[in-house]
Amino acid sequence: MKIGLLQMDIQFGQPAKNRVYVESQFKKIQNENYDLIVLPELWSTGYDLTRLDDIADKNAEESILFLKKLAQTYNVHIIGGSVANKKDDKVYNTMLVVDKQGELVHEYSKLHLFKLMDEHHYLSAGKDSPSFTLADIHFGGFICYDIRFPEWIRKPVLEGAQVIVVVAEWPEPRTDHWLTLLKARAIENQSYVLACNRMGSDPNNQFAGNSIIIDPWGETLAQGGINEEIVTATIDISNVKAIRSRIPVFDDRRPNEYS
């Protein structure tokens, strides 16, 4: 499976401009035979939290239609980062997954809200499962701060997930944390990690970029810098089984002793 992580800057609070940019990137790569494209967290609005009540996408309808059209037009699976999703009187930070036929296959709203960036004042925590299947591969999909909670990442892996996907707006001052946590999640879960972070800045933050694809042995297959780019690698799912057989972590777990 050929993966592309769309490491992009985000126009602050400008959904229409961000959709135009994303579509322009899909046009550029339409002949490069990607199987899966991953977008970053809140790619349509950025962290314009104080205006989310006005600019959030009602029931994510416009974002879903946009991603479906891209998937069908360019014949590619899309993990559509996440969008500000307004449901009733609440706003959620919601990952959208669309297959190349244009079918919405999964939604996941961020469980762990990051209080240091005031998310809890403007967003509501979701209660969705992070597990989904795309192209006959079992994934676990997470959003940014989620990666600091290894027990949450382990949940879909115990259900059979072979690939962990993380979409983020991770700040530059904690770049080392980003890379270290992602490596740890790959190694301890013996899973591929596909982590798409934004780059650039907003009025309050400078973001880290450094989107990365890591194999189940913890080795980096591809890593971005701090500029706009598409971070690309091809993954072989059969490697997951091979590595899990080399060090049988899951056979040696003793969950009865962990509580």
The per-residue b/e assignment along 142-166, b for 16 or more CB within 10 angstroms, e otherwise, is bbbbbbeeeeebbebbeeebbbbbb
Q: Which residue has the tokens 């962290």?
A: 47
> Is the entire prediction scored with pTM above 0.85?
yes
DSSP E strands in the chain: the ranges are: 2-7, 36-38, 57-58, 77-87, 90-98, 104-109, 131-134, 137-143, 163-168, 192-197, 212-214, 220-223, 229-234
Distance CA 199, CA 229 (A): 9
Among candidate residues 68, 107, 110, 119, the one labeled active-site is 110
- Total domains, the chain: 1
Structural domain range at position 198: 2-251
* Whether the Cβ atoms of residue 153 and residue 164 lie closer than 8 Å to each other: yes
Does 199 fall in a domain? Answer: yes
DSSP state of 115: G
Residue 9: CB partners within 8 Å, gap ≥ 6? 198, 199, 200, 228
Among candidate residues 68, 86, 119, 144, the one labeled active-site is 144
Does 21 fall in a domain? Answer: yes
Does 257 fall in a domain? Answer: no
Beta-sheet pairing, 57-58 with 36-38: unpaired
Does 53 fall in a domain? Answer: yes
Does 256 fall in a domain? Answer: no
Q: What does the pLDDT profile of the chain (259 residues) look like in tens digits? A: 999 999 999 999 999 999 999 999 999 999 999 999 999 999 999 999 999 999 999 999 999 999 999 999 999 999 999 999 999 999 999 999 999 999 999 999 999 999 988 999 999 999 999 999 999 999 999 999 999 999 999 999 999 999 999 999 999 999 999 999 999 999 999 999 999 999 999 999 999 999 999 999 999 999 999 999 999 999 999 999 999 999 999 999 999 999 8
Is 41 annotated as catalytic? yes
174, amino acid identity: R
Is 110 annotated as catalytic? yes
Query: What backbone phi and psi angles, to 5 degrees, belong to 68?
Result: -60, -45
List Cα–Cα distances, 33 to 64, 75, 103, 234, in angstroms: 22, 9, 20, 11
What is the per-residue pLDDT for 153? 98
Does 258 fall in a domain? Answer: no
Among candidate residues 41, 107, 119, 169, the one labeled active-site is 41
Distance CA 195, CA 147 (A): 10
Query: What backbone phi and psi angles, to 5 degrees, belong to 80?
Result: -80, 50
What is the per-residue pLDDT for 259? 85
Burial of 103 (0-12, 13-18, 19+ CB in 10 A): exposed
C-beta atoms surrounding 39 within 10 Å: 29
Residue 61: CB partners within 8 Å, gap ≥ 6? none
List Cα–Cα distances, 244 to 160, 162, 192, 203, 237, in angstroms: 12, 10, 12, 44, 12
Does 259 fall in a domain? Answer: no
Report the DSSP beta bridge partners of residue 224: none
Does 174 fall in a domain? Answer: yes
254, amino acid identity: R
CATH of the domain at 68: 3.60.110.10
